[in-house]
Structure 1
Amino acid sequence: MKLSKFLFLLLFVLSASVTFAQSSTELKRKKEAIQREIELLQRNLNKTANSKKLTLGQINALNKKISLMQDKITVINSEIKNLDNQIHENTNTVINLKGQLGQLKKEYGAMIRFAQRNKNAYDKMMFIFAAKDFNQAYKRIKYLQQFGQYRKKQAGYIQGTQKELNYKIVILDKNLKEKSNLLHEQENEKDKLGKNKNQQSAVLNKYSKQEKKFRQDIASRKKQQAQLDRSIRAAIVREIELERRRAEAAAKAAAAKAAAAAAAAAAKAKAENRPAPATPAPAAKPKANSSGYLAATPEAARLSAAFESNRGSLPWPVATGSITESFGKHKEGQASYDNAGVTIQTAEGASVRAVFNGKVSKVGNALGRYYVLIKHGQFFTVYQNLRSVSVSAGDDVSTKQNIGTVASSGDIPELQFQIYRGAVAQNPAAWIAK
């Protein structure tokens, strides 16, 4: 029973340690990812530090940086809470192990005293020969053998418990030091957050002085962006219309072929004086004005299904980046606008890559920058604000294939990334990996 309890306690301690390690590893990985985003945004902000002109990219970068710093402090708080739980568990384990060690030593001491009293071989022989019959004598011999073996086992249990106790004390000390380091890191991050909020206040003060000019710049930029988005939607609508015509032509050809086959079968039946075979029902026409035309062929249908099955796990269109402007409606001061995708700030000269297998539908140029439209069955992905492109219309592309390099908007490298299902804009943040 003592051994069973000891093994159960040891198993519990080890499983708790593994669970903690996994959770701690996940939190550290998340914290490191947040820190990489913060550093990327800070590098972009450093480029515009001496610029007198305030841009939307600067404001978005600063706001996102502050949000990430708050997220990092939240993660650190979770790490501290995790450590507190582990410290509590380890403290209880140390207390239990000390109690078990004391009990084992007490029992072992009693055995030693008993052995001392019966260490004489003559006493052992007298103990055996005092048995009333042979069976009892045999049992006494076995008892003396088992007693010696049990004493050795107890000594082993004491050594094992002492070793586990020492190990847990070392882990407990390590936990306490790690908690101290995390508390120090938390204070540093709070201090940095305070400084960045002061910087944000200074930027907002600068914005209030330049508000009229800033609003005009946003209105002009977003007007151009809206024109480009309309142009891209028009290209998608044309693609749907083209597929509709192809589908209708294929349906007419199939119907004509079926009618000819039916006429030939009827003529043959008449010549052979047999009843004419039943005329097959005409094939159903595809629905008008539907993106379903884009998945009319088996190959396109498979590609559409594969794209949709990867919702939430598509790779990012850049290797490193931070979403600084989300999908949907936005308001900056009195200026309001709609974002048909997400704006991703990335490193200068970063490679832009296709997020899934597909075919380049269009490569366009607007405002001195390139954009690429890639078709994935009934889905489309759009990559705007490219400095250069390395693909052409009609090219087949594979997942993560380089299609160009990102350009800078107001000294900050930004990619405008969009996803459409047919001509309906989707929120890319719900499609790409977290």
Structure 2
Amino acid sequence: MKLYKLLLFLFLVTAGSAAFAQSSAQLKRKKEALQREIELLQKNLNKTASSKKLTLGEIRTLNAKISLMQNKIGVINSEIKNLDGQIHENTNTVHNLQGQLAQLKKEYAGMIRFAQRNRNAYDKMMFIFAAKDFNQAYKRIKYLQQFGQYRKKQADYIMGTEKNLNYKIVILDKSLKEKSNLLKEQENEKQKLGKNKSEQSVFLNQISKQEKQFSKDIAARKKQQAVIDRNIRDAIQREIALARKKAEEEERLAAAKAKAENKVAPVVKAKTSTSLLNATPEAAKLSSAFENNRGSLPWPVSQGSITEHFGRHKVGEANIDQNGVKIETSEGANVRAVFNGKVSTIRNSLGKYFVIIRHGEYFTIYQNLASVSVSVGETVSTKQSIGVVGTSDDTPELDFQIWRNTSPQNPEAWISK
């Protein structure tokens, strides 16, 4: 029973260590991903730093960078918390193993002393022949055999426990060193964050000094965006209108056929935008597949960071409505389709392109492209390149949107985390 408990204890310790290792690996990957995003934003900031004029893109980039740095410190805190738990667990394991080892050695010493007292073959024979009957003699023979086997097993368990104990001590030392390194990294990141927050304060002071010009720039941007948003909405409305026209033509032909055959014309129900866009089995299937991938769609660029979020928010004193998200990426990055679909619209608006891809009743919009590599009516697949990202305020960024019929959705709820 003692051996069974020891084996169960060792199994639970091993399982716990495996779970910790998995969690630790996930945190490490997340931290590395955040660092890549921070480095990308810093690279873009360095390019625009030479300009004396403060741009909206710089503010967005710096704000996003600070947010990422705070997230990275949070991940480091989680790593330290995980390590603290593992250190506590391993310390308890070491103490338990030391106790188990001492008990096993004590029991083994008792067996050795017993074996020493009964090492004479004559004594063993007398022990067997002193039995009352044959059954008892047989049991005594088996006992002596099992005693020898058990002693050997005890020796093996002692060696295994010592080996496991030494391994756990090594792991414990490694965890303590790793925690020390993480604490240093955490302190380093806090210093960097403080420096960037100071830079942010300088930017805010600069905004105050350039408030008039800054407000003028934001107003111009809102005006330009309103033109593009109107073009996007008109393009989607046109898709719905074409689907309605097609449905009405099919209804007209069905009514004419019924009349020619002296049959009652089928009852026509009012068509919604959803039913029109999902009128064919293929379109309905595509809509369903798109919905089923909510939260796991790939990003429209291979590397990037969200610098402006969906919905209404403030920049300085100005309110901005954003129908999608702005993703800052590397210069000349390829823009990719996030799902299978058909290119429904390509338009040049204010010197930059936007592409609309239809996925049944859903539409994905890729705005601020410098060039386009697909054509209207072309069927595209997931992650297929559709063009090259353009720049805004000298910053390479993509405005990415997802619409359901004529309602914009929050892309962050659809793309993978």
| TM-score, normalised by the number of residues in structure 1 | 0.94
- Deviation of 1:285 (Å): 3.0
**For 1:146, what is the secondary structure of its paired residue?**
helix
Structure 1 CA distance for aligned equivalents of residues 379 and 147 of structure 2? 80
Q: Counterpart of 1:110? A: 110
Q: Counterpart of 2:137? A: 137
Q: Counterpart of 1:311? A: 294
Q: State the one-letter code of the partner of 2:399.
A: Q
Q: Deviations over 1:345-391 (max 9, x none)?
A: 00000000111111111111111111111111111111111111111
Q: Counterpart of 2:271? A: 287
**For 2:132, what is the secondary structure of its paired residue?**
coil
Q: Counterpart of 1:271? A: none
Q: Counterpart of 1:17? A: 17
Q: Counterpart of 1:7? A: 7
**For 2:283, what is the secondary structure of its paired residue?**
helix
On the 8 A contact 1:359/1:374 being kept in 2, the answer is yes
CA RMSD, 1 decimal: 1.3
Pairs within 5 Å for 1:68-147: 68-147=68-147
Stretch moving more, 10-19 or 303-312: 303-312
On the 8 A contact 2:303/2:329 being kept in 1, the answer is yes
On the 8 A contact 2:254/2:265 being kept in 1, the answer is no
Identity %: 71
Q: Counterpart of 2:359? A: 376
- Deviation of 1:426 (Å): 1.1
Q: Deviations over 1:173-208 (max 9, x none)?
A: 111111111111101111110111111111111111
Q: State the one-letter code of the partner of 2:213.
A: K
Structure 2 CA distance for aligned equivalents of residues 327 and 136 of structure 1? 86
Could you tell me which runs of 5 or more consecutive residues in structure 2 were left unpaired when the two chains were aligned: none
- Deviation of 1:129 (Å): 2.1
Structure 1 CA distance for aligned equivalents of residues 264 and 4 of structure 2? 77
Stretch moving more, 344-353 or 24-33: 24-33
Pairs within 5 Å for 1:329-344: 329-344=312-327
Question: Structure 1 residue aligned with 2:372, among 375, 384, 389?
Answer: 389
On the 8 A contact 1:286/1:293 being kept in 2, the answer is no
| TM-score, normalised by the number of residues in structure 2 | 0.97
Q: State the one-letter code of the partner of 1:300.
A: A
Superposition misfits of 4+ residues, deviation over 6 angstroms: none
Structure 2 CA distance for aligned equivalents of residues 163 and 204 of structure 1? 60
In the alignment, structure 1 residue 347 sits paired with structure 2 residue 330: yes
On the 8 A contact 2:258/2:265 being kept in 1, the answer is no
Question: Structure 2 residue aligned with 1:421, among 388, 391, 404?
Answer: 404
Task: Tell me the number of residue pairs that the alignment of Structure 1 and Structure 2 aligns.
Answer: 417
Structure 2 CA distance for aligned equivalents of residues 126 and 359 of structure 1? 95
In the alignment, structure 1 residue 403 sits paired with structure 2 residue 386: yes
Pairs within 5 Å for 1:209-220: 209-220=209-220
In the alignment, structure 1 residue 231 sits paired with structure 2 residue 231: yes
Q: Counterpart of 1:356? A: 339
Q: State the one-letter code of the partner of 2:317.
A: Q
